[in-house]
Amino acid sequence: MIQPSWLAFYILAFRALKGSGAQGNGGTPRAVTAVVGESVTLPAAFSTRENILSVTWSKVNTDQSTVQQREPVFVFSNGNSKSHGAYKDRVLLSGKVSLRIANIRVQDDGMYVLNVMTEDLETGEEYVRLIVMVPPVVKVGPSSPVVSSWGKSVTFKCTISEARPNISALHWEKDGIPVQSIGVSSKYSGGTLASPSLTVRHVTRADTGSYTCVVNHVVRPVTSSVQLKVLYPASIISISDAIAVTVSDRVTLQCVADGNPPPNITWTKNGVLLPSVAHTLSNDVRASSVTLKRVRMNNTGAYVCAASNGVGKSDSKAVQLSVTPQGGLPARRINAAEELITALTQYKGVNKSSLMRGKS
């Protein structure tokens, strides 16, 4: 048993930022945790009545035959200090004997031993286990953005590497909201720790958005995202109502459609293509108008609006225009485009002024 006049030596427990040091019992080394790239202190305290001749920190390398080899890390002797090998310029004493290691590397993980020698040649040593933790590297694929046609299924991969220790949980989010992946008939499948890849079935325009793989780790959560763009068929949102006008009136017919890619909108009457003016209302919404400055009797008929974008079938709707001689109707003129503009001001934030250009 060490007498009071001899070196009394203690290694203190240490609590790291992301974990707590385990207390040693007897010959069991104490553990210190550290995050790669950060700094850590292997703390120690001692008391002695004698002067200290040297303080030596070493890393213990044990091969399969349990032969112990000590690699010098830091030596303080006769007032001089020196760091060795891969620890050069990264280590120094903190306090009297604690060791401060900067810019922690994965290779620093392992067992360390502190040896203190006093002038009466008494020595004391103790072991400390340094556990280096590494946050995961998370990558998702395919490359963003992922473009898929309406009705198909899309699978996003989430690969995790370099994590020390292993990750504790994994889930996916769409636009910041966790997706549900329970049940064969659900919209999603996979996207868990056991099955990291996420499959989105039968995609529609509502599935467009940002998909994020969220990985939980003892160091910190790590995420990676991919954007999904869904190609969906053109669809006519609205078209002018049937109207009746008199000869020489001015009338504007308007048609609004959306789709991805943005739709191409055309107007025809009796199969003949009509000149029209197109407007972009948003990324996927287009408007097209036909203006008759002075209607004639032969302008009576069905005006067909057709929208297509190469995805699925095209969409078409017709509006009926009736023309009567002057004096044949009550004194009332109806501009269907004006009514349509009013209705569309609430749709997708469409600006009324952008629609009014079609009347000029």
Neighbours of 117 (CB within 10 A): 18
pLDDT on residue 26: 37
Residue 336 · residue 243 · CB < 8 Å? yes
Instruction: State pLDDT tens for residues 93-102.
Output: 998 889 999 9
What does the block give as tokens for 190? 């996979």
Regarding pTM above 0.85, the answer is: no
Residues 6+ apart with CB under 8 A from 136: 160, 161, 162, 163, 167, 215, 217, 222
Q: Which residues of 310-328 are buried (b: 16+ CB within 10 A; e: fewer)?
A: ebbebbbbbbebebeeeee
The CATH number given to 137-231 is 2.60.40.10
CA atoms within 13 A on the CB side of 315: 19
Architecture per CATH, domain 240-359, reads as Sandwich (2.60)
| Single-letter amino acid code for the residue at 335 | N
The CATH number given to 8-133 is 2.60.40.10
Instruction: State pLDDT tens for residues 318-337.
Output: 999 999 998 654 434 445 45
Question: Do the domains at 8-133 and 137-231 have one common CATH topology?
Answer: yes
Where are the chain's structural domains?
8-133, 137-231, 240-359
Instruction: State pLDDT tens for residues 123-163.
Output: 788 889 999 999 999 999 999 999 999 999 999 999 999 99
Q: What's the rounded mean pLDDT across residues 211-215?
A: 97
What does the block give as tokens for 45? 């305290």
CA–CA separation, 178 vs 171, rounded Å? 7
Among 265-269, 303-307, 324-328, the range scoring the smallest mean pLDDT is 324-328
